[in-house]
């Protein structure tokens, strides 16, 4: 139980930064849906989907590889850090220069004629993200959760602050006559440009801080370490590409697959903006998963040599599914007020019904992260490629088949279908090569129950808003009561355990 408490404590700290950061970041949803057009938000959705995809290429699985080689290969951790960081700095410069030079082609390909500068800024954002990846990983490995959380929060605060200045403050000052248009090159016709520019400046400003707190590296490419690291990381690269395809391909392709006039009065890019804005609400689940991942990844690797690690991994997954299933229900039954709170224009509420599907998809992504530990600690990362490739192909197939017919819900179901397949395949292979005693039937029951209650609560309607709030949230309380009855013994042991 002490191991679980340690993991819970680390997750709480990472969660604090994620929750506070995302809470501040949610202000951006309000800002975008209030001050920007649906076209601008559609552009933001598509470009950031591409950034998410290319982020995997720029880091190519080296975070997980760093954890593995710094903890489980009897190597000097500092030497591993220097080699890994040197490699990523080198490859980032090469890849970033390539994207920079290809910017005019990307602008034409994605239907942004004359806006090649957007993709040059994107190249810089990708480089900055990549060269901070391993320093952030080192902070996690050293259990410097507070330092990690502080740096992340500073980055998010800078990003949000710059967004508000560029998108809200400057236009209002120009309208009031206290600032001249053209000040520092400012243009009132820009939208997505300022989202990218704020991101670029915020990332660039915190690089010195992150490198300083993690420890500056000595540039050295150790061939003896690089070869086995590359063999370990190479399948993870393709796993990452396939995984990000599952997550982002719906937002990347939605605009181009949706038939013209599918939604009356909306262009395909405007509909993409509505879809992307609702996708943002599902981030409420993803931030919990991200916080858990920050704490769990180094924890899992450190415990890999423990003979009781399979039982420990099973307990972690058990607790994770319980918590996230309840969270999914709690968010879904309150979407009637959460949605309008963040999506400021009524048109965005048209796709609110897809959010429970997206929440379930992200939950299953978290389950996959838990159960995929088997191929990471057994060095069978090649399996990750085929598993995630199957999920990616499923996602693409569902998108092509369903978006032209069903629009928003078709894109959302592609996420759910791909992550469901990932979990099923990974579970069966994992039990073959690295058996973990999951209480499988109970966990599947919690997942199904959570999803059913999410939609049951979402569609509950009452004439009186207060009574409706009470009735919908009674669904959450009922689920908590049922879980308490089923888990009472273990829960009391967890709470009473001192060490």
Contacts of 32 (CB under 8 A, 6+ apart): 40, 41, 44, 167, 195, 277
Please tell me the distance from the alpha carbon of residue 293 to that of residue 287, in angstroms, as a whole number.
10
pLDDT in tens, the chain (499 residues): 455 555 555 555 655 555 565 556 567 777 888 888 878 888 887 888 888 888 888 988 788 888 888 876 667 788 888 999 999 999 999 999 999 999 999 998 888 888 899 999 999 999 999 999 999 888 888 878 788 888 888 888 899 899 999 998 888 888 887 887 777 778 888 888 999 999 999 999 999 999 999 888 888 888 778 888 888 787 777 767 766 776 677 877 888 899 988 998 888 888 988 888 888 788 778 777 777 776 676 777 777 777 788 888 888 899 899 999 999 999 999 998 888 877 777 788 888 999 999 999 989 988 998 888 888 778 787 787 788 788 888 988 999 999 999 999 999 999 899 899 989 999 999 998 889 999 999 999 999 999 999 999 888 887 788 888 898 999 999 999 989 888 887 776 655 654 4
Please tell me the distance from the alpha carbon of residue 364 to that of residue 369, in angstroms, as a whole number.
9
Helix (H, G, I), strand (E, B) or coil at 129: helix
Helix (H, G, I), strand (E, B) or coil at 442: helix
* Dihedral angle sign, alpha carbons of residues 392, 398, 399, 401: positive
Please tell me the distance from the alpha carbon of residue 385 to that of residue 378, in angstroms, as a whole number.
15
Please tell me the distance from the alpha carbon of residue 231 to that of residue 384, in angstroms, as a whole number.
13
pLDDT of residue 499: 44
Helix (H, G, I), strand (E, B) or coil at 345: coil
What six digits make up the tokens of 93?
């410069």
- Considering all CA atoms of the chain, what is the largest pairwise distance in Å, rounded to the nearest integer? 70
Total domains in the chain come to 1
Please tell me the distance from the alpha carbon of residue 30 to that of residue 45, in angstroms, as a whole number.
15
Count the neighbouring beta carbons within 10 Å of the beta carbon of residue 132: 22
Contacts of 139 (CB under 8 A, 6+ apart): 145, 147, 148, 151, 213, 214
Count the neighbouring beta carbons within 10 Å of the beta carbon of residue 267: 16
How distant is the alpha carbon of residue 147 from its chain centre? 21
CB 40 within 8 A of CB 32: yes
CB 272 within 8 A of CB 39: no
pLDDT of residue 498: 44
Please tell me the distance from the alpha carbon of residue 424 to that of residue 368, in angstroms, as a whole number.
9
Please tell me the distance from the alpha carbon of residue 334 to that of residue 339, in angstroms, as a whole number.
8
Full domain range(s) for residue 52: 2-496
Alpha helices by DSSP H, 36-144: 38-59, 62-71, 77-101, 103-109, 116-141
Contacts of 57 (CB under 8 A, 6+ apart): 95, 237, 241
Read off the pTM: 0.69
Annotate 352-403 with DSSP letters as a single string: GGGHHHHHHHHHHHHHHHHHTHHHHHTT-THHHHHHHHHHHHHHHHHHHHHH
CB 391 within 8 A of CB 242: yes
What six digits make up the tokens of 284?
């409420």
What six digits make up the tokens of 478?
């009922």
Residue with tokens 């082609």: 105
Annotate 28-48 with DSSP letters as a single string: HHHHHHHHS-HHHHHHHHHHH
Helix (H, G, I), strand (E, B) or coil at 497: coil
CB 92 within 8 A of CB 123: no
How distant is the alpha carbon of residue 461 from its chain centre? 31
Residue with tokens 């901070």: 132
Please tell me the distance from the alpha carbon of residue 28 to that of residue 163, in angstroms, as a whole number.
8
Q: Which own/partner pairs from 473-480 qualify as long-range (CB within 8 Å, at least 24 positions apart)?
A: 473/330, 473/333, 473/334, 475/329, 475/333, 476/326, 476/329, 476/330, 476/333, 478/453, 479/325, 479/326, 479/329, 479/449, 479/450, 479/453, 480/326
The CA–CA distances, whole Å, from 126 to 2, 94, 130, 348, 420 equal 39, 12, 6, 29, 29
For residue 167, the 8-state DSSP code is: I
Contacts of 451 (CB under 8 A, 6+ apart): 328, 356, 360
């Amino acid at each position: 139980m002490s191991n679980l408490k340690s993991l819970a404590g680390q997750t709480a700290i990472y969660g604090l930064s994620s929750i506070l950061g995302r809470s501040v970041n949610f202000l951006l949803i309000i800002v975008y849906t209030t001050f920007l057009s649906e076209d601008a938000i559609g552009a933001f959705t598509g470009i950031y989907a591409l950034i998410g995809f290319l982020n995997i290429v720029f880091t190519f699985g080296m975070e997980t590889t760093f954890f593995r080689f710094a903890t489980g290969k009897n190597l000097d951790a500092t030497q591993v850090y220097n080699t890994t960081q040197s490699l990523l700095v080198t490859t980032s410069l090469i890849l970033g220069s390539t994207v920079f030079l290809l910017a005019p082609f990307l602008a034409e390909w994605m239907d942004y004629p004359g806006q090649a500068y957007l993709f040059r800024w994107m190249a810089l954002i990708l480089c900055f993200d990549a060269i901070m990846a391993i320093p952030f990983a080192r902070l996690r490995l050293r259990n410097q959760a507070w330092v990690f959380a502080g740096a992340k929060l500073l980055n998010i605060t800078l990003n949000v602050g710059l967004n508000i200045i560029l998108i809200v403050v400057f236009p209002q000052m120009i309208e009031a006559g206290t600032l001249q248009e053209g000040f520092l090159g400012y243009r009132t016709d820009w939208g997505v440009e300022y989202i990218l520019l704020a991101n670029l400046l915020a990332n660039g400003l915190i690089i010195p801080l992150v490198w300083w707190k993690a420890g500056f590296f000595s540039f050295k490419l150790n061939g003896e370490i690089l070869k086995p690291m590359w063999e370990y990381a190479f399948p993870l690269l393709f796993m990452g590409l396939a995984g990000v395809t599952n997550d982002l391909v719906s937002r990347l392709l939605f605009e181009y697959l949706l038939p013209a006039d599918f939604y009356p009065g909306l262009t395909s890019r405007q509909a993409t903006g509505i879809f992307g804005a609702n996708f943002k609400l599902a981030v409420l689940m993803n931030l919990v998963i991200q916080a858990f991942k920050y704490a769990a990844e180094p924890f899992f690797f450190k415990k890999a040599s423990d003979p009781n690690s399979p039982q420990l991994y099973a307990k972690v997954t058990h607790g994770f599914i319980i918590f996230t299933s309840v969270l999914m229900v709690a968010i879904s039954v309150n979407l009637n007020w959460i949605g309008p709170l963040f999506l400021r224009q009524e048109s965005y509420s048209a796709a609110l019904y897809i959010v429970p599907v997206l929440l379930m998809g992200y939950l299953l992504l978290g389950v996959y992260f838990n159960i995929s530990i088997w191929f990471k600690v057994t060095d069978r990362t090649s399996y990750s490629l085929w598993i995630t490739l199957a999920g990616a192909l499923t996602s693409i197939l569902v998108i092509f088949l369903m978006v032209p017919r069903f629009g928003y819900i078709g894109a959302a179901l592609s996420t759910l279908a791909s992550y469901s397949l990932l979990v099923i395949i990974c579970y069966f292979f994992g039990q073959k090569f690295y058996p973990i005693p999951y209480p499988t039937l109970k966990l599947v029951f919690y997942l199904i129950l959570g999803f059913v209650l999410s939609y049951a609560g979402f569609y509950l309607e009452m004439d009186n808003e207060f009574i409706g709030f009470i009735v919908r949230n009674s669904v959450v309380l009922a689920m908590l009561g049922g879980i308490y009855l089923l888990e009472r013994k273990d829960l009391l042991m967890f709470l009473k355990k001192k060490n």
